[in-house]
Amino acid sequence: MKIVILNKYKKKIKIVKNLKNFKVIGPLGILEYTFINIISYSDNFFFLNNTSKIFFINKLKMLFRSVSTGWFKELKFKGIGYKCFKMEDKIALDLGYSNLITYKPCSSVRIRNLKNKVVLFGIEKEHLNNIAISLKNYSKPDAYKGKGIWFKNEILKLKKKSRI
């Protein structure tokens, strides 16, 4: 099977391949991934199972995008007392509790703080989603009032209050 991947990002991306390891080097950094389903490998050809061809191509496309443009995740703070601000290399969340919640992400994730928003940026998509979910778990959206920490395009249908 011959794989042709078009580099639509128009940036210098280099692939270093070993037996099952792929190292993708781009302007934002280096990512390495190990493919388990490669049956055999010759000079420029990979022999894969029929079921893993689509996964292999999609994973390489995702690695290309990661090292060329990166990934963004935006969190919104809805509610009267919900605020966030940046302290040195940490982020502090004021969610109405008696103390501030401070969170220090790893060095590969960059945080930008806006008025009631936090924008996360990184080149590893799974790691970025894990950080966003851990921040959201501090205050999940309320089903009745809608206050809490929301993702950018998250939709939650609010419940009606029961009247007696």
CATH number of the domain where residue 141 is located: 3.90.930.12
In this model, does residue 52 exceed pLDDT 70?
Answer: yes
84/138 same-domain check: yes
Domain housing 55: 14-68
32/104 same-domain check: no
142 CB-near residues (< 8 Å, 6+ apart): 148
Residue 3 belongs to a domain:
no
77/133 same-domain check: yes
Residue 6 belongs to a domain:
no
The 10s digit of each residue's pLDDT in 127-139 is 999 999 999 999 8
The first and second tokens of residue 118, run together, are: 């936090």
Mean pLDDT of 20-47: 75
104/141 same-domain check: yes
Provide the domain count of the chain.
Answer: 2
Catalogue the E-assigned strands of the chain. Answer: 14-17, 21-25, 30-34, 38-41, 46-48, 71-78, 83-87, 90-94, 101-103, 110-113, 117-122, 148-151
Mean pLDDT of 64-76: 92
Return d(Cα 48, Cα 37) in angstroms, integer: 6
